[in-house]
A and B are shown apart, each in its own frame.
With several copies, the nearest count.
Chain A
Amino acid sequence: MKLRYFAWVRERVGKPEEDIEVPPGVTTVGELMAWLAARGEEYAHAFANPQVIRAAIDRTHVEPQTPIKGAGEIAFFPPMTGG
């Protein structure tokens, strides 16, 4: 599964994207964030406040409870500030 990070999530994780194997017990976007936060200091910093982090699966906005099964690309980023 491909993960992508944007803005300060990208800066904290230290890379724009990576391919990872997600263990079978991790089934939702929220669980994925919790699992990532335990992967190391940079991830713990990036996902310290999971409630402010937004996610998209295959380029569509999703919620923490959304299942990740079948996802090709999951992106994590802060609240958007365009316009």
Chain B
Amino acid sequence: MTVLSTVRLQREPFDAAAEAAKLTRGRSDVGALVTFTGICRGDEAGEPIAALTLEHYPGMVEAEIERHVQEAKERWPLLGVTVIHRYGRMVPGEDIVVVVTTSSHRAAAFAAAEFLMDYLKTRAPFWKQVEKAGEKTWVEAKATDDAAAGRWNAGGRQAAE
């Protein structure tokens, strides 16, 4: 069994569909493919934004994501995992992050993709700044994101709602 895993940080846009295709091409053990794409919205906290700038901690962020990809592979019977996260400036409608997971069965693929996204939202060293009416402001961390990330601790999966 070949478990593919890819972690990439980049300024340039990515092609989510092409990344998903790489995890299924030429193999017949994949039964479930989950692709999560996080997209820059045109509003933040109810107000329109012109753009988003993502700052990151080079070196730390790659290592931290790799560590969580490893953890996901230990927790669930995955066949492939891809995480690509952009940094720099993005305008509404642009893709920010993609997480692709594959497995024989859907439960593992869904759980691993959610686990990685909850982690990326709360513990990966990224910081979002938005441009609103000419002013730049830092996005505040959300308590709901912390709660979502917390459900993966202490063994099993907990209800998130």
The reply, when asked whether chain A contacts chain B directly with Cβ atoms under 8 A, is yes
Q: Pick from A8, A75, A81, A83: contact of B57, CB below 8 A.
A: A75
| A83–B121 touching, CB < 8 Å | yes
Binary flags per residue of B82-97, CB closer than 8 Å to A gives 1, else 0: 0001000000000011
Residues in A with CB closer than 8 Å to B127 are 6-7, 77-78, 80-82
Query: Which interface class (under 10, 10 to 19, 20 to 34, 35 or more) fits A?
Result: 10 to 19
Question: Is B125 in contact with chain A by the CB < 8 A criterion?
Answer: yes
Residue among A8, A75, A82 with the highest chain B CB neighbour number at 10 A: A82
State the Cβ distance, A11 to closest chain B Cβ, in Å: 8
Specify the main secondary structure of chain B where it touches its partner. Answer: mixed
Question: Is B139 in contact with chain A by the CB < 8 A criterion?
Answer: yes
| B138–A59 touching, CB < 8 Å | no
Question: Is A61 in contact with chain B by the CB < 8 A criterion?
Answer: yes
Question: Is A79 in contact with chain B by the CB < 8 A criterion?
Answer: yes
State the Cβ distance, A37 to closest chain B Cβ, in Å: 20
| A59–B38 touching, CB < 8 Å | no
Q: A7-B127, A7-B129, A61-B123 are in contact. Are A81 and B59 (CB under 8 A)?
A: no
Q: A59-B59, A61-B123, A75-B60 are in contact. Are A80 and B141 (CB under 8 A)?
A: yes
Q: Which of chain B's residues has its CB closest to A61's CB?
A: B123
